[in-house]
Amino acid sequence: MNSRDRLADLSGATVTVTGGFGLVGSRIVHQLRAVGAKPLAVGRLDAYGSSVYSSVFEISPRDPDVIAGDITDAALMDDLVSRSDYVIHAAALADVAECTRNPAAALKANINGTQTVLDAAARHTGTLKRLVFVSSASVYGTGAGSEDAAARFRETDPLTPGSIYANTKLWGEHQTALALGGTGGSYAIVRYFSVYGEPQVVKENSHSWVVAWFAMRAALGLPLHLNGGGWQVRDFVHVDDIAEATLLAAVTESADRSTLNVGTGRATSIRQVADLVRGHYPDARVMATPRPQGDPLGACADTTRMRQVLGWTPQVDIEDGVSRYVEWLKRTPEAIPAWLRAEARAVA
């Protein structure tokens, strides 16, 4: 059975998606709506400017399946989980740099919030078919920073997180196993590599999400920053593929209690991303800047387990993905945040 057919199993199912207003969560909600499932999107509306949610991510608190709320609200989470067949826990303070600047906020969202979601899930293991915890390749640590195809993170590798953000993700993995493994609940853990693709929008003072950064800066005539020379590598996975893999992790029987990388298995350096973006904006300049604290050198995913368990591979490669992003940005220039436009005006 192909992956689309397996996702059809979700038709009629109720699925709580925490962080359902974010980039990944909103794509998951759209895919759930498309297969006839009933998403319950819960989240805060403070990760981006308010116009991003309805006009760029096309998800609105006025939608009947959308609930503006905080995952640390135990009564809310209990109510949503009690009505759900599946939970996708994607809410987090997802900006590595912001977690480093503001550890208390990282702990509140990524630790207290995750515990609240897990407490609710553990209370409803009789009706809940599975919880998927969204983790990150950052749990592996710094990596090799080489375009050498042999530099791969395997799920069995030692984990040496190098940032507060990564620490919270690793704690979430262990706590999911503890809370649900001990109560007979079903769970899966997905370790996303670098998510990109339309409609991603950059966050102020962040260094994550380089495809969106480079495309938006090039569109405004600003130089592209090569932090640490841009020799770091990432395994770029399109957000549509990420959403599909996450839902497959929910419905694939053999994914129960497994931890899966979600990546393409291909390493791309930041310099290569700059070149791909400059293919669309030939006048764009690059500028070397220091490598931020906690910014991993990186490696790509070993995808063996993902392919075996999910019977799935990503569809979008980085060349197509960058082209799709640039075309979307040209059609949707309002996605460029006002603070970035102000920076472009200031240097003009």
Give residues in contact with ligand NAD (CB under 6 A): 19, 21-25, 43-44, 46-47, 70-72, 90-94, 109, 113, 134, 136, 192, 194-195
* 5, HSE (Cβ side, Cα atoms, 13 Å): 3
Q: In the complex with ligand NAD, which residue's Cβ is closer, 22 or 145?
A: 22
**Beta strands per DSSP E along 111-177:** 130-136, 152-153
341 phi/psi in degrees, rounded to 5 = -65, -40
CB of 242 to ligand NAD, least distance (A): 8
Q: In the complex with ligand NAD, which residue's Cβ is closer, 70 or 85?
A: 70
CB of 138 to ligand NAD, least distance (A): 7
134 phi/psi in degrees, rounded to 5 = -90, 110
Rg of the chain over CA atoms, in angstroms? 19
Rounded Cα distance between 139 and 163, Å, is 9
Q: In the complex with ligand NAD, which residue's Cβ is closer, 89 or 280?
A: 89
CB of 113 to ligand NAD, least distance (A): 4
CA angle 60, 61, 65 (to 5 degrees): 90
Q: In the complex with ligand NAD, which residue's Cβ is closer, 44 or 271?
A: 44
Contact 100, 163 (CB under 8 A): yes
Q: How far apart are the first and last CA of the chain?
A: 55
Residue nearest to ligand NAD (CB): 22
Q: In the complex with ligand NAD, which residue's Cβ is closer, 92 or 340?
A: 92
Q: In the complex with ligand NAD, which residue's Cβ is closer, 57 or 312?
A: 57
CB of 266 to ligand NAD, least distance (A): 16
**Amino acid sitting at position 262:** V
CB of 43 to ligand NAD, least distance (A): 4
DSSP string, 283-348: T--EEEEPPPTT---B-EEP-HHHHHHH-------HHHHHHHHHHHHHH-GGGS-HHHHHHHHHH-
Q: Could you tell me whether strands 86-89 and 268-269 are parallel, antiparallel, or unpaired per DSSP bridges?
A: unpaired
CB of 195 to ligand NAD, least distance (A): 3
Q: In the complex with ligand NAD, which residue's Cβ is closer, 113 or 162?
A: 113
Which 3 state secondary structure label does DSSP give 262?
Answer: strand
Rounded Cα distance between 125 and 77, Å, is 14
CB of 282 to ligand NAD, least distance (A): 27
CB of 3 to ligand NAD, least distance (A): 20
Establish whether the linkage from the previous residue to 314 is cis, with ω within 30° of 0: no
Q: In the complex with ligand NAD, which residue's Cβ is closer, 22 or 39?
A: 22
